[in-house]
Each structure stands twice: as C-alpha cells, then as structure tokens.
Amino acid sequence: MHDPTEAPRKERIAEINAGASDREALEAKYGEVWSTSEILLAFDITGFMAPYVACKRKSDGVKGTLEFRHSPRFYFNFQEE
C-alpha cells in the first residue's frame, strides 16, 4: 500500500533529529517543549504518525498536532487545527 506522506515525514524526521537535541535549543526555535511525562499531563494523544502526534490540549480541549524528536524524546511545535 502506497503512503503519500511517507517521504515527507521521513525528511522531517531527519531534519528534526539532525538538529540540536537539547531542550533549550528546541525552545528557542519552537517555543514550549514537553518531555514524555509532561506531555501526558498537558495533552491527550489521539493519534501517531512519526514525527507527528494528534492531540487535544487538556486545559481547553483545543485539538492540534505536535512534532517530536526521538532521542532525547521531546514534543514541540503545537499547531492548532
């Protein structure tokens, strides 16, 4: 089965994981950043397709997406739907 999102997602994964991996660098580039334990407190994760997760912010119910990097695992770049 052909997935038309596979190539662009793989490119984005490579970009994310090639950049700086520390939290401070991600915050400077994307704003708020969450660890795995923090993300579970702030969002309900409703879907996953690396490097993206679909989510709903617990504080106000707003749906959107986040990106994540693998190691260390950080979530960032929340985009409302």
Q: Tens digits of per-residue pLDDT, 5-60?
A: 999 999 999 999 887 789 999 999 999 999 999 999 999 999 999 999 999 999 99
Provide the residue ranges of all domains of the chain, joining segments of one domain with +: 6-80
Residue 20 confidence (pLDDT): 76
Strands (E), 1-81: 33-34, 43-49, 52-57, 63-69, 74-80
| pTM check: above 0.95 | no
| End-to-end Cα distance, the chain | 27
